[in-house]
Amino acid sequence: MRRSRPSPRPAPAGPEPIAELAIEAMGGEGDGLAPGPVFVPFTLPGERVRAAGRGERRELVEVLEPSPERVAPPCPHFGACGGCALQHWEHGAYLAWKVERLRATLARQHIETELLAPFAAAPATRRRLALHARAGRRDAARLGYKARKSWSLVEVDTCVIADPRLVAALPALARLAAPLFEHPKSAPTLHVTLTGAGLDIDISGVERKSGGLSADSRLRVAEVAAQSDFARVTLDGEVAYLARQPTVAFGPAVVALPAGAFLQATPQAEAAMVAFVTAQAAGAHRIADLYCGAGTFTFPLAALAPVYAADGAAPAVAALKAAIATAPGLKAITPEARDLVRRPMLAEEMKKTDLVVFDPPRAGAAEQAAEIARSGVARVIGVSCNPATFARDARTLIDAGFRLERILPVDQFLWSAHMELIGVFAR
């Protein structure tokens, strides 16, 4: 399989101008920033570079004076693949930049707090991938990631962030995708998760208006899945092949995962986050776990105190409820499928609750934070994949009398600009 080469790219033909630039800082998405402002990907502060293009967004042509923090990217697809943006940066400097970005995001809401040493995911640990497929040979599709700033596909034969078991499965996954192109509008994405039972693959993007896959194509999918020893294959949640129920352990519980269910990207980050949350929850007498998913935090927290667990994803809550029987000896767990945007847990419902844990999607928990602010809850732990919406919700709690005591930064999406966090509040 042909490998894509990283930037810098050769000077473009035609009238596209080339300028020499001094990179002074890093932009929010991981591009180098020169006066103007001008953003140049794959550059670092302190470098002098040649860049092509007009306007704010340019393309790197050549690094004239490299930063001492520049390192060789470990992936042969870096620069073309749209996944990683910062493999060329020495890890300590890269991580310090992400923490300072988090500090600046909080400062925009006039929030200061202690930032603990961050948890940093290692290469080769990611357990879930979204792989895009395009028509190829009859027996194997073209499989990979979207190119940077493009819908084009970069075929990959390795991925340095992924668990090696996912990398080893790439050829089989390409064969699995081959029958998915009966309709010209199909653009499948394989959402692949490594579970305790093996690979769980949920496929989206197959054109359904024409009736979906034919019986022949479904049979071919099932045959490849069986040959490859996949645990389960689903088409937008509908089972196409099932050899074993995919499961995951949350604390002492074994949860049967619904198709396409959310998991933290790496098991190591999940373990670190659970350990931090449960340590901060020590001494609680009654806990509300809001946006609980399938129970990542619910089951470990139930070792400490009774837990009310709510989430808008009914299949995840059903899986959590079913898994309670696998973990005897825990405190009582009360699960509920509940839209926490339209129907947040009210302050009046929290009268006997002394700790709230919330872990919302990227949009944050504005409605729920407003109710927590009205309540008499003593402590709150906020888990967030979006520092900006976390800061907004934190401001709501702080204005109501809470103090943000500390934050654990979590770098779970290695070599990206993305940063997660856990914040601890007390009255």
In the chain, ranges of CATH 2.40.50.1070 domains: 128-247
Tens digit of pLDDT for each residue in 289-328? 999 999 999 999 999 999 999 999 999 999 999 999 999 9
Closest CA to 250 of 307, 313, 187, 312: 307
Residues 18-96: name the CATH superfamily: Nucleic acid-binding proteins (2.40.50.140)
Q: Which helix (H) or strand (E) holds 173?
A: helix 170-177
Q: Give the tokens for residue 417.
A: 């600009």
In the chain, ranges of CATH 2.40.50.140 domains: 18-96
In this prediction, residues 399-420 reach a mean pLDDT of 97
Active-site residue numbers? Answer: 385
pLDDT (0 to 100) of residue 13: 52
pLDDT (0 to 100) of residue 192: 98
Asked if residue 363 lies in contact with residue 390, where contact means CB atoms within 8 angstroms, the answer is no
| In the chain, % of residues over pLDDT 70 | 96
Class of domain 128-247: mainly beta
18-22 β-sheet, strand order: 18-22, 48-52, 59-65
226 contacts: CB under 8 Å, gap ≥ 6 = 241, 243
In this prediction, residues 275-288 reach a mean pLDDT of 98
Pairing of strands 153-155, 140-146: antiparallel
- Output the CATH code of domain 108-122+263-426: 3.40.50.150
Distance CA 111, CA 403 (A): 10
pLDDT averaged over the chain? 94
Give me the residue label for tokens 């700033």. Answer: 149
Q: Give the tokens for residue 112.
A: 């200061």
